[in-house]
Amino acid sequence: MTRGKFAICVAAGQLFGSVFAFVLDRQLTGQWHLYYLLALLCSVVIVGAVLYAVFPYTPESLLKLRHTDRIRKYSDEKFEAVADRLTGLK
């Protein structure tokens, strides 16, 4: 999944939530609030754009990072293994 698709999914989720809140508001107050609707739509666009631009990882890259986490592991075993190879200890 690309970062763009990920942002669209999140933004779509928020849009669904926004519409739901808007309809609920209509049910509770008996009125359609145009400004409230516009504000919600704007926030959807902004959240989507910010997520796309700023969020550093896609779900895929997060998985990849988890996979490669073991490479980052600064383990004693790595040092021992290298030294044993070079000294022929094992």
Partner 1 sequence: MGNEAALQEKQIEMAKELLFSGEQLPSFAQGLFIGQFDHARVLPFPEVNAEEKQRAEEFCTRLNAWMDEHVNADAIDREANIPDSVIRGLGELGVLGCTISKEYGGLEFSHYAYCRMVEEVARRCGSLTLFINAHQSIGMKALLLYGSKDQKDRWLPPLARGEVLAAFALTEPNAGSDANGVETRAVYDAARKAYVINGKKQWITNGGIADILTVMAQTEVDTPKGKQDRVTAFLVTPDMPGFKVTDVALEKVGMRGTKTAKLEFENLVVPEENILGTLGGGLKIALNVLNFGRTTFSAGCTGNCKDMMERAIAHAKTRHQFDKPLAAFGLVKEKIATMAALTYAVEASTYLTAGLLDRGEEDFKLETAIIKCFASEAQWRICYEAMQILGGRSFFTDQPFERYMRDARLNTIGEGANEVLRTFLIAAVGLGDIGLKVEGMLESKSKIGGFGKLLGFGASSIERMLKTPTVPVKSQELRGEADQLAAATRRFGVAVMRALATHRKAVLEKQMLCNRIADCVIALYTATAVISKLDADLVRANGTKDRLANDIAVAKLYCAMAFEKIDQSLETLFKNNDDQFEAVSDRLTGGKQIK
How many residues are there in the chain?
90
> Do the beta carbons of residue 18 and residue 47 sit within 8 Å?
no
Question: Does residue 82 bind partner 1 (CB under 8 A)?
Answer: yes
Tell me the per-residue interface mask from 10 to 49 with partner 1, x by CB under 8 A, - otherwise.
----------------------------------------
Q: Between residues 30 and 70, which has the closer beta carbon with respect to partner 1?
A: 70
Output the 3-class SS for 2-57.
CHHHHHHHHHHHHHHHHHHHHHHHHHHHCCCCHHHHHHHHHHHHHHHHHHHHHCCC
Q: Between residues 29 and 80, which has the closer beta carbon with respect to partner 1?
A: 80
Q: Between residues 39 and 81, which has the closer beta carbon with respect to partner 1?
A: 81
Tell me the per-residue interface mask from 53 to 72 with partner 1, x by CB under 8 A, - otherwise.
x--x----x--xx-xx-xxx
